Chains A and B, each alone.
Chain A
Amino acid sequence: MTPLLSVSDLRVGFGRNPKANEVVRGVGFDIADGETLAIVGESGSGKSVTALSINRLVDFGGGRITGGSMKLKRVDGTVFELAAATEPQLTGIRGAEIGMIFQEPMTSLNPVLTIGNQIEESFRLHRGLTGRQATAAARDALDRVRIPDAARRLKYTPNQLSGGMLQRVMIAIALACNPRLLIADEPTTALDVTVQAQIMALLAELKRESGMSMIFITHDIGLVAGIADKVMVMQNGQAVEQGELNQILDSPQHPYTQHLLQDVPHFASGRATRADGQRDKAANTQPALKVDGLVVRFPLKSSFFSRATGAVHAVDGVDFDLMQGETLAIVGESGSGKSTTAKAVLGLVRSTRGSFSVGTRTATAERSAKPVQMVFQNPYASLNPRLAIESILGEPVIATGGRVDAQTRARMASLLERVGLPKNSLERYPHEFSGGQRQRLCIARALMLNPSVVVLDEAVSALDVSVQAKVLELLLDLQREYALAYLFISHDMAVVERIAHRIAVIYAGQIVEIGDARSVLSKPRHSYTKKLIAAVPTIDRRCEHFEIDTRQVPSLVRPQGFEPAPAKWERFGGDHMARVEA
């Protein structure tokens, strides 16, 4: 039987001289009908370019196919060469035979048109449906991707729907014409982990229903376990290993695949938590940071003159304490208030109520002028591109009234060395560094003032998985060396498991569960924590079936003057406690 798609020795180049600038260098694979191929690789490995070459969208990004062939078996059994196709021919193939979904559902839909309109367009173009027929088809398409209340949702514009819902709409559009091949380019990377689980479940279910083939591109090898039949691992534009799912996951041959599977953090349900630096209950030390009843609200005003009608309760009564040398991870989904909590601790957001107290360092170290420092999520945005590294590292010193003198320079040099950056970094500019190196720079900058608490806001989320592992290691070393207290904010349970001593789960602005990392991850008590942990993809969960759950996060907008009822806590041994659910 001929495969649906057969790619051999595909080469794609960019720029004026595509032959010399090849990004994909000789990739080949076959996909049979109904089969799912996962392409795994880090950024720059050429996985997206490979996928975009199949429907030739790569041409619009300045890419040229410099060699190889891509044979697509069409419905009538003829074989079509995609590598040599002309643009008019491709227009008929895209959408009708090869569907595609992208990473960012928020930006892949036109914000001014209703989603109904955008789904209908696909039916109009490829099926020639018009008017009521197209609307009915669009409604069916939404039903198919399990969007409740489809008829009403057709009239929504994209801003009225959440990211997960929008990704469902994107899937509906991609599947509108029953393509036999669906290309999913990191379709869940921009989504929260519970939403990711739902989308993955949906894709698996749709695949079973329609019998289509799928190319699933991801950087997360843990994610492929649930969906793929075959896996291809890419590095530097080449497929370093490919084969059946079980074969790749259980006995990887290539060192890079082994590295991806072993050195990169994978979620292990609490088995991989840290053993060192556990909280000493006997010692009655002062916490490095204590947050008491933190409340952050943003008033809602419709216009300049009107009075506030309500408030967004971004953080609603959060308390925790953080000891010297300890990591408290705050986990939650986007919009849960975890970043706002961090920003309030640093004074970047004004808190409505609540108090912080920052403890002094141990007697030997002098007290820092700014004891709480922060490392941000995006290493590309948190360094001023126009300043040399020396000025960047010097800024905290200048800000606290110091001067960049020989002593400061010596400290810069030793910190740079400590975080593993070359000695000549001081005269260089941020764009000369890679993402991982930049994050090291940010860490060095945060340490310039000798802080006692470092807030790490998704500090490794923007990094490639293998870089992530190294930066995490650095963070652990630094913590031991300087007895730093980390407030580690993340949505990534696998990373949290590696670094946290304690975990606080935050949902809709409130902590719902807090406690020892091992205890929280292995025996979650609150229903939300359970749901969150169940959604984490792991390589152990092969072809697992997820429940499709379309519950949305409750609105955080409350009427003016609303106060939540005081929390009731239930204790489960040690310091593990969870909020009692209503």
Chain B
Amino acid sequence: MRILRAIFGHGSGRIGGLIVCVYLLLAILGLLGLTPHNPITQYRIDRLHAPGAAYWMGTDLFGRDVASRLMAGIGQSFTVAFFSVAFASLAGTILGLAAAWLGRRWDGVVMRIMDVLLAFPAILLALLIVTVAGPGTWTSVVAIGIVYTPIFTRVVRGPALSLKTREFVDAARTFGSSSRYIVTRHLLLNLVAPLTVQVTLALAWALLTEAGLSFLGLGTQPPAASLGLMLSDSRNLMETAPWLLIFPGLAIMISILGFNLLGDALRDILDPRMRRAFA
């Protein structure tokens, strides 16, 4: 609770937190189907209807309500982003801790594999994995998860290496504490702050990557809605029906802004040097 109060006491945290909360609400409504219209029902007579009272954000080429599709799309994109970041942070933390704690060859092998993964641009690597595994929601989750694992591995390994040489770890060794105890209590507990920040920022990237994959037709498959897919559908109608482009575009942009602002705020708040100013 103290952290929430701190976030809303921080300038950019307030804005970022608010944006993220609104998106979460929209995503939940979208996932539960509590949208103004059914996102896949085609209102044939109202095709390409401009935004108005009946259709807040207009309709698309098939007469589907853009606002409803946007909510469903946010739900879809967030689901993919959350699961892929959960995957990446879990895998990255385990690999990073293993590399730092076991050291020597383990460190070498794990980190070289991560370097290979990092060498590819994120979207390219995700594309590669999806092409091999076939498109779909869960393959996107795994693909995006794998793409962001190396970043978490690095974020965990660096501080873990330095924590490992700290005196409290030496002290723990003199009592004969088990490796598991040292890794969980002394390393992991001290990594919570950098991980929290990294998770927030990774959510923004994951959203963007998901949109990219869907845009290229390799993520969410129609008729289900997704932000990238909606953008992709709007390409040929950019001039006749600009709302098809504007609303999903803005939705992506604002969500990423929100996560980044929140991430910046968290970084400030969780930085021990700043703690006294916000706590």
Which residues of A line the B interface, CB within 8 A?
Answer: 343, 346-348, 369-370, 372-374, 376-378, 381-387, 391, 395-396, 398-400, 442, 445, 449
Contacts and interface: CB of A to CB of B under 8 A. Distances in A.
Contact of B170 (A369, A376, A395, A449): A376
B168 A370 contact: no
Contacts of B189: 384, 386-387
B190 A373 contact: no
A366 B272 CA distance: 42
B236 interface: no
Nearest to A343: B170
A391 B181 CA distance: 12
Nearest to A380: B167
Nearest to A373: B174
- Residue with the highest number of chain B CB atoms closer than 10 Å, among A377, A395, A449: A395
Contacts of A445: 171
Interface of B: 166-168, 170-178, 181, 185-186, 189-190, 192, 272
A384 B176 contact: no
A399 B175 contact: yes
B185 A391 contact: yes
B176 A395 contact: no
A211 B186 CA distance: 54
A347 B172 CA distance: 12
B174 A395 contact: no
Given A386-B189, A387-B185, A395 B167 contact: no
Contact of A382 (B167, B175, B178, B272): B167
A527 to B, nearest CB: 34
- Residue with the highest number of chain A CB atoms closer than 10 Å, among B171, B178, B192: B171
A442 B167 CA distance: 11
Given A391-B185, A398-B181, A399-B181, A383 B168 contact: yes
A396 B175 contact: yes
Nearest to A401: B176
Question: What is the predominant secondary structure among interface residues of chain B facing chain A?
Answer: helix
A384 B192 CA distance: 13
A382 B192 CA distance: 19
A381 B272 CA distance: 14
Contacts of B171: 374, 376, 382, 442, 445
19 contacts: A369-B176, A370-B174, A372-B174, A376-B171, A377-B167, A382-B167, A382-B168, A384-B186, A384-B189, A386-B192, A387-B185, A387-B189, A395-B172, A395-B177, A395-B185, A398-B177, A398-B181, A399-B177, A449-B175
Given A386-B189, A387-B185, A387-B189, A348 B170 contact: yes
A378 B167 contact: yes
A399 to B, nearest CB: 4
B183 to A, nearest CB: 12
Nearest to B165: A381
Nearest to B186: A384
A246 B168 CA distance: 44
Contacts of A373: 174-175
B178 to A, nearest CB: 7
Given A386-B189, A387-B189, A399-B181, A381 B174 contact: no
B11 to A, nearest CB: 15
Contact of B173 (A348, A383, A385, A391): A348
A395 B177 CA distance: 7
Given A374-B171, A376-B167, A382-B171, A400 B190 contact: no
Nearest to B178: A399
Contacts of B172: 395, 399
A55 B88 CA distance: 51
A399 B173 CA distance: 9
Contacts of B176: 369-370, 399-400
- Residue with the highest number of chain B CB atoms closer than 10 Å, among A369, A374, A377, A442: A374
Contacts of A386: 189-190, 192
Q: Which 6 A-B pairs have the closest CB atoms?
A: A382-B167, A396-B175, A399-B177, A399-B175, A386-B189, A376-B167
A348 B164 CA distance: 12
A445 B167 CA distance: 13
A370 B175 contact: yes
Contacts of A347: 173-174
A385 B173 CA distance: 17
A399 B185 CA distance: 12
A449 B170 CA distance: 16
B192 to A, nearest CB: 8
A382 B185 CA distance: 14
B186 A346 contact: no
A274 B109 CA distance: 56
Nearest to A396: B175
Nearest to A386: B189
A383 B171 CA distance: 8
Given A376-B167, A398-B181, A385 B174 contact: no
Contacts of B190: 384-386
Contacts of B170: 343, 348, 374, 376, 382
B125 to A, nearest CB: 28
Contacts of A381: 166-168
B166 A395 contact: no
B279 to A, nearest CB: 11
B10 to A, nearest CB: 16
A299 to B, nearest CB: 14
Contacts of A377: 167
A399 B176 CA distance: 6
Nearest to B173: A348
B173 A384 contact: no
Contacts of B181: 395, 398-399
A376 B171 CA distance: 8
A388 B170 CA distance: 18
Contacts of A374: 170-171, 174
Given A398-B181, A399-B181, A384 B168 contact: yes
Contacts of B178: 399
Contacts of B185: 384, 387, 391, 395
Contacts of A442: 171
Contacts of B173: 346-348
Contacts of A391: 185
Contacts of A387: 185, 189
A379 to B, nearest CB: 9
A171 B24 CA distance: 60
Contacts of B175: 370, 373, 395-396, 399-400, 449
B185 to A, nearest CB: 7
Contacts of A370: 174-176
Nearest to B105: A304
Contacts of B174: 346-348, 370, 372-374
A386 B185 CA distance: 9
A346 B186 CA distance: 20
A417 to B, nearest CB: 22
A449 B167 CA distance: 18
A18 B25 CA distance: 44
A348 B166 CA distance: 12
Given A381-B168, A387-B189, A396-B175, 15 more contacts: A348-B173, A348-B174, A374-B171, A378-B167, A382-B168, A382-B170, A382-B171, A395-B181, A396-B177, A398-B177, A399-B172, A399-B176, A400-B175, A400-B176, A449-B175
